[in-house]
């Protein structure tokens, strides 16, 4: 009833308030059988500013332009607060586990600025024995301030409270409180990525940068009976939920202290509610490119790129639909014409949702130095080699166009092409990316000769190598294991300074397969340090 249009006359709003107050009072009086009093009730309602009573003919908009407005509902006066900072919604990740961090989740602010907001954390003074506790009568002890709270072992069994004070322009709003969904539980303990963090103790220097490539397993694909029973049967259901996995993912990613983070299978909600706000307050900026269907529009997952704001700034970003680029880009006409010769291949390529995300970044310390960062997630089907080969060819051409444009502008430019290629090192896709002289590429390695693609016009003028080589596997499930993820780099512009070792086979398989209670995805993160050759 108080959500009114600004163009509405004050008289209409006053009439609504008067009617509602009268109805409320009348109901109470009728319960007391005081019908006469109910019929005779008359209430005076006015908006009063420092200059006097506002005219009933004025629009409600005039309230915003007046000073010290009071709503008078006889006999009470209410001060009006215009556009106060407000927390609309807020909760905490669940479960709350020792060794992991809590942070504001699903935080919605109005008339408030997130970096200015204050976050105060409290722990219940006493542990609780069950989840159905009345938090309003608890005693609390202040433990920390800030966006993230690392849960300590001494808090096992306690409840956590977060106080969020919304802050806008020179003013604070009413505090909003959120509580852990239950007592703090034991966490997963030491995870394999904890050992990997030892190789990332320091930030990179001005001559280098650290990069992570990680398929984090979208909740879109993990949250189904088929996933739980067939794809990932060794993972406990609680550890397969995104609420559990995202806490491990964030701890893992932040621990690498990377300058560039490229991720695949990023749910839109996870990007908005978890990754972006947490990484932003840790010094990163990021962009998401959703997969796109030719007729249904955007898909609720995609590829994301985050970069350390003190290291890089974003010059331009492109989200390129591979199927649309193949059909519309004149420089890809010969490839498209050849694909059209096979109706089955044409239909499959057109129906895919794969995108290429391209971010052109410039060094904060050296504006003439740029890095073109391409990220993708190629078609997944085991018998889709031909489709992936076409997709890889399109990606390489689009990257070459953007890369050459930067070089022509005089920038000292290098290139990274990373992602989940769903292609092992013995496939045509890997050969095409790493063989610069494959001008008329002949495909001989298809596992299933479904399509006639022996004379596809494929080109790659980029000098690319795999930063992490070809490990035995980057994806390990009960049904498959193999190397599918790569960070390809221009070897004439960059050199690999360090590759952070992958977890041992014993660590990967200690709980059966991936994901597990200690590894939050069915893929392993690739981490490497690069040096610029032209210093």
Strands 140-145 and 176-179: what pairing? unpaired
Lookup: tokens for 521: 């995805």
Measured CA to CA, the distance from residue 463 to residue 373 in angstroms comes to: 15
For the question of residue 420 being annotated catalytic, the response is yes
User: Residue 56's CB: how many other CB atoms inside 10 A?
Assistant: 14
Measured CA to CA, the distance from residue 329 to residue 342 in angstroms comes to: 20
As a whole number of angstroms, the longest Cα–Cα distance in the chain is: 97
Residues in the chain: 535
Sign, CA dihedral 75-81-83-89, equals negative
CA distances, 296 to each of 291, 292, 300, 351, 352 (Å) = 11, 8, 11, 11, 11
Residue 17 host element (H or E): helix 10-31
Is 155:123 a contact under the CB 8 Å cutoff?
yes
Measured CA to CA, the distance from residue 242 to residue 232 in angstroms comes to: 14
218-228 CB burial, b ≥16 within 10 A, e <16: bbbbbeeeebb
Nearest CA to 140 out of 152, 123, 165, 128 is that of 123
**Among 267, 420, 522, 529, which one carries the catalytic annotation?**
420
- Tokens 């166009």 correspond to 401
Lookup: tokens for 97: 């586990």
Residue 485 C-beta-side C-alpha neighbours within 13 Å: 23
Rounded to 5 degrees, φ, ψ at 112 are -135, 155
Is 21:43 a contact under the CB 8 Å cutoff?
yes
Known catalytic residues are 420
């Amino acid at each position: 009833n108080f959500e009114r249009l600004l163009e509405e006359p004050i008289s209409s709003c006053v009439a609504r308030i008067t009617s509602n107050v009268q109805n409320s009072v009348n109901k109470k009086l009728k319960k007391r059988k005081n019908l006469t009093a109910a019929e005779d009730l008359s209430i005076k309602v006015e908006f009063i500013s420092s200059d006097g009573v506002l005219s009933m003919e004025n629009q409600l908009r005039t309230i915003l332009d007046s000073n010290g407005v009071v709503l008078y509902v006889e006999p009470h006066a209410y001060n009006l607060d215009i556009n106060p900072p407000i927390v609309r919604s807020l909760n905490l990740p669940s479960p709350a586990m020792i060794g992991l961090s809590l942070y504001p989740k699903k935080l919605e602010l109005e008339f408030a600025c997130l970096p200015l907001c204050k976050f105060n954390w409290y722990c219940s003074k006493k542990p609780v024995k069950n989840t159905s506790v009345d938090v309003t009568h608890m005693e609390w002890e202040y433990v920390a301030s800030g966006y993230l709270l690392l849960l300590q072992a001494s808090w096992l069994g306690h409840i956590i409270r977060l106080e969020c004070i919304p802050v806008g322009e020179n003013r604070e709003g009413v505090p909003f409180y959120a509580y852990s969904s239950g007592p703090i539980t034991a966490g997963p303990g030491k995870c394999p990525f904890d050992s990997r963090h030892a190789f990332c103790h320091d930030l990179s220097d001005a001559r280098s940068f650290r990069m992570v490539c990680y398929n984090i397993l979208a909740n879109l694909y993990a949250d189904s009976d088929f996933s739980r029973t067939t794809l990932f049967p060794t993972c406990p259901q609680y550890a397969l939920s995104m609420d559990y996995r995202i806490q491990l993912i964030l701890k893992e990613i932040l621990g690498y202290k990377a300058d560039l983070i490229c991720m695949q299978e990023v749910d839109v909600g996870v990007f908005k509610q978890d990754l972006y706000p947490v990484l932003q307050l840790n010094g990163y900026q990021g962009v998401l490119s959703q997969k796109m269907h030719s007729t249904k529009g955007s898909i609720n997952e995609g590829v994301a790129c985050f970069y350390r704001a003190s290291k890089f700034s974003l010059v331009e970003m492109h989200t390129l639909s591979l199927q649309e680029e193949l059909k519309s880009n004149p420089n890809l006409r010969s490839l498209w014409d050849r694909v059209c010769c096979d109706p089955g291949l044409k239909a499959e390529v057109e129906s895919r949702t794969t995108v290429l995300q391209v971010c052109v970044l410039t060094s904060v310390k050296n504006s003439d130095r740029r890095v073109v960062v391409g990220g993708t997630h190629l078609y997944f089907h085991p018998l889709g080699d031909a489709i992936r080969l076409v997709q890889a060819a399109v990606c390489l051409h689009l990257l070459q166009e953007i890369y050459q444009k930067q070089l022509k502008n005089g920038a000292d430019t290098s290139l990274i092409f990373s992602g989940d290629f769903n292609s092992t090192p013995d496939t045509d896709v890997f050969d095409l990316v790493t063989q610069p002289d494959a001008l008329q590429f002949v495909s001989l390695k298809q596992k299933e000769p479904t399509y006639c693609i022996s004379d596809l016009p494929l080109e790659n003028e980029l000098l690319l190598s795999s930063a992490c080589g070809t490990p035995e596997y980057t994806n390990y499930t009960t049904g498959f294991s193999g190397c599918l993820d790569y960070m390809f780099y221009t070897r004439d512009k960059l050199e690999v300074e360090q590759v952070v070792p992958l977890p041992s086979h014993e660590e990967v398989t200690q709980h059966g397969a991936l994901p597990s209670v200690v590894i939050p995805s069915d893929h392993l993160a690739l981490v490497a340090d690069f040096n610029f050759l032209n210093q």
